[in-house]
Amino acid sequence: MSKTKTVIRFDVNGPNGLEEWEQMNYDSLVSGKPVQRGHLYHEIPEQGYMVGVWDCTAFTDQMMPYTVDEYMFLLDGKITMVMPDGTEILIKAGDAFVIPKGFECQWKQTNYVRKIFMIFDGKVADSGNKSLKRITVPNLAQPDNVDLTLSRTDFLNGAGNMSVKVEGYGDVTQMSRISVANELITVLQGSLILNDGHMADVYNSGHTAYLKQGSNVKWTTTIGTRLIVASYTGQN
């Protein structure tokens, strides 16, 4: 699908398959000779921003500070994130997580992994931001009350221009709005219809949409729809 569109349906295999990406430096890894592939659906190089799909074979990286702010939704496989004190966080398919820039950790995957991602390479913020002192794993479990309407922010980066939130809609909702940020939206439950005035596209559970900043789109949700939304507000 064209990168010029303001509403993009993410194909987890890329629009024409995933392209093989530059080889990692094997000498810098603890183990593995991984092959990585991917597709960028949108990037703003001068702002250090990109969003896309990535897959890779097994490898273990060094314990080191993470080099970017990165939101990820794992589609296939599992990853173990190791903290400096030895604590481990298991990320499995269907989980979302965020690693803040500068956070020290180790990436371990023993098998194939595929993910969608949003990356911003910006400044490391002040130490008062709790989001920067941990790997954030949003709770994606279905609430007891599916009629509950909610909006919960789980991550805000140091620059204040990238966030991750979980949204729930307790009733049929219709709204037209202009996106004030680039938004990567994965449907966790229910359905989301996005209409840009030319075409209405339906996104069901497991589907991902991407709205470019400035998109003027009509949203329609079904009862009990839940979304996870990663946002990046670009510079004008």
Q: What is the pLDDT of residues 27-84, one digit of tens each?
A: 999 999 999 999 999 999 999 999 999 999 999 999 999 999 999 999 999 999 999 9
Over the chain, what is the mean pLDDT?
Answer: 90
pTM of the full structure: 0.93
pLDDT above 70 covers what percent of the chain?
92
Give the CATH H-level superfamily of domain 150-232: Jelly Rolls (2.60.120.10)
Distance CA 145, CA 150 (A): 11
Helix (H, G, I), strand (E, B) or coil at 47: helix
pLDDT above 90 covers what percent of the chain?
72
Higher pLDDT, 143 or 203: 203
Q: Look at the block and give the residue holding tokens 């990286």.
A: 61
Buried b (16+ CB within 10 A) or exposed e, 173-202: eeeeeebebbbbbbbbbbbbbbeeeeeeee
Binning pLDDT at 50, 70 and 90, where does residue 177 land? confident
**CATH numeric code, 7-133:** 2.60.120.10
Instruction: Tell me the mean pLDDT in the region 19-31.
Output: 96
Domain range summary for the chain, segments of one domain joined by +? 7-133, 150-232
